[in-house]
């Protein structure tokens, strides 16, 4: 599969996510950094599971998941195994900074769950162990890994007033040799 590249500006990030989810026919989606469901306002998958250590009041959710697991990404693995869902894609949108500015909610978030790289690494691990074929990452730089292959790459700037990347990875399963 060849890598496709698109450069876009000033577009709602939910439209980018909707396009990428449709590209892989995502019906069963696992979001390891769910938040309030902002990414799903233009495309609601058939079944949506969110992981987030913070539970918001119902009125705050833009799109409420079918199941919300109130844990960190690495604390949710056993729960995900028990669910037994065959996900099409894992979506990851970690905070961009290692250290948040000021005393906002992100400080609590970092103290609770670690760095953005921790979240990304554990999301790839879950995708690999649950045999999820795709992972969509939104971050301020591409992620390098040995068991992934980029199949779509979008550079976005303007809407968030920062540079960010939407990268759709094909997760290459762990192959055990005898």
Task: Please report, for the chain, the start and end positions of each structural domain, with discontinuous segments joined by +.
Answer: 4-171
| pLDDT, tens only, 112-138 | 667 888 899 999 999 999 999 999 998
Q: Which residues pair with 164 in a beta bridge?
A: 156
**Strand intervals (E) in the chain:** 4-9, 28-31, 47-51, 67-69, 89-92, 134-139, 148-157, 163-171
Mean pLDDT across 55-76 = 92
Residues recorded for the chain: 178
Give the whole-angstrom CA distance, residue 85 versus residue 81: 8
Fold of 4-171: Rossmann fold (3.40.50)
Q: What φ, ψ does residue 106 adopt, rounded to 5°? A: -65, -30
Q: How confident is the model at residue 82 (pLDDT cuts 50, 70, 90)?
A: very high
């Amino acid at each position: 599969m060849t890598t496709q590249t698109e450069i876009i500006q000033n577009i709602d990030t939910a439209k980018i996510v909707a396009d990428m989810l449709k590209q892989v026919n995502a019906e069963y989606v696992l979001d390891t950094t769910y938040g309030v469901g902002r990414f799903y306002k233009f495309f609601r998958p058939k079944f949506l599971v969110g992981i987030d250590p913070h539970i918001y009041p119902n009125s705050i959710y833009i799109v409420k998941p079918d199941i919300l697991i109130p844990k960190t990404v690495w604390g949710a693995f056993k729960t995900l195994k028990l669910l037994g869902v065959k996900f099409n894609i894992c979506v990851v949108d970690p905070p961009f900074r290692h250290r948040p500015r000021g005393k906002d909610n992100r400080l609590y978030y970092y103290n609770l769950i670690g760095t953005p790289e921790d979240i990304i690494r554990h999301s790839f691990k879950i995708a690999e162990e649950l045999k999820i074929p795709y992972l969509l990452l939104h971050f301020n730089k591409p992620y390098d890994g040995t068991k992934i292959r980029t199949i779509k790459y979008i550079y976005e700037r303007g809407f968030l007033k920062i540079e960010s990347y939407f990268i759709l990875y094909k997760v290459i399963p762990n192959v055990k040799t005898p």
